Amino acid sequence: MKHYELEISQFVDNELPEHGRKELFVHLAECEECGRVLADYMEMKSGSRSFYENMEYEPEHPVNLPVLPQRTKERNIYQAMFYFAAAASVVLGLMFFMQQSSTNTITQKYKMLKTEYGKLDFNYNQAIKEVKTAEENYAPQNIPNDIKRGKEKSKKAQAAGRMAYKNTRQNTTDLTAENKDYMGNRPQLIRVVKVTQSDYLTPQIVGN
């Protein structure tokens, strides 16, 4: 016999549509088990409500409310002006460049764009200043040969980097066990369907 636990849960939430309710009541008349479920859910409902009602918010230390910051309209305008000026300089620079050069290869264009890109992303540089770069601590263990590297770090520095990297990896592994218990915030309910005889495009190939 089909049980109606999900429908009971919806009913208790006041989210079961009309036709579902009728069907549920008919079933409840015959099914003791579902009757118990309903009673339990109702009791849990009132119990959880009182649980939270009894939780008074009475902080021990006084709470200091923060100051609401001023809207910085002028800053936005300056930012917009900067971006406009930067963009305009890129366009003008491009036009000037195209006029000047007779062998305008892609590489030269790339170099010029890269410089302009570097000027535009002052935000990124600012961000990087605020963030501790992990290069010393995060050296990869297997470095492919065909990556062009900057100056070669001393062997000691490399080894230190690898050790530090190893340690962070260990920290990450430690979290794995807990994370598997935690359901995460991207659960997807997957419906599994099976293939039946009628789904075959040809008669089923059985053995060879």
Residues 66, 151, 156, 170: which binds other proteins (CB under 8 A)? Answer: 66
Among 63, 155, 156, 170, binds other proteins (CB under 8 A): 63
Binding-residue pattern over the window 20 to 49 for other proteins, x denoting contact by CB under 8 A: -----------------x--xx--xx-xxx
Residue 69 in tokens? 């910051």
Token pair belonging to 199: 């789904």
4 burial (CB, 10 Å; 0-12 / 13-18 / 19+) is: buried
C-beta pairs of 79-86 under 8 Å, 24+ apart in sequence: 83/120, 86/116, 86/119, 86/120
| Residue 85 to residue 161: CA distance in whole angstroms | 42
Q: Quick check: 2 binds other proteins (CB under 8 A)?
A: no
Residues 75-94 that bind other proteins (CB under 8 A): none
The yes or no reply on residue 191 touching other proteins (CB under 8 A) is yes
The answer to the question of residue 154 lying near other proteins (CB under 8 A) is no
Contact letters for other proteins, residues 104-123 (x by CB under 8 A): xxxx--x--xx--x---x-x
Q: Is the dihedral of CA 143, 147, 151, 152 positive or negative?
A: positive
Considering the complex, state which of residue 29 and residue 206 has its C-beta at the smaller distance from other proteins. Answer: 206
The yes or no reply on residue 59 touching other proteins (CB under 8 A) is yes
Taking the complex as a whole, the smallest distance from the CB of residue 122 to other proteins amounts, in Å, to: 11
- The answer to the question of residue 175 lying near other proteins (CB under 8 A) is yes
Single out the residue of 15, 18, 32, 74 in contact with other proteins (rule: CB under 8 A).
Answer: 15
Interface with other proteins (CB under 8 A), residue total 99
3-state DSSP assignment of residue 86: helix
| Residue ranges in 125-144 that form contacts with other proteins under rule CB under 8 A | 127-128, 130-134, 137-138, 140-144
Taking the complex as a whole, the smallest distance from the CB of residue 1 to other proteins amounts, in Å, to: 18
φ, ψ of residue 118 to 5 degrees: the values are -65, -35
Given a contact cutoff of 8 angstroms between Cβ atoms, the answer to whether 137 and 165 are in contact is yes
The answer to whether 182 contacts other proteins (rule: CB under 8 A) is yes
Shortest distance, position 142 Cβ to other proteins, whole Å: 7
> Exposed e or buried b for every residue in 185-201, given b needs 16+ CB within 10 A?
eeeeeeeeeeeeeeeee
> Residue 9 and residue 16: Cα distance in Å, rounded?
9
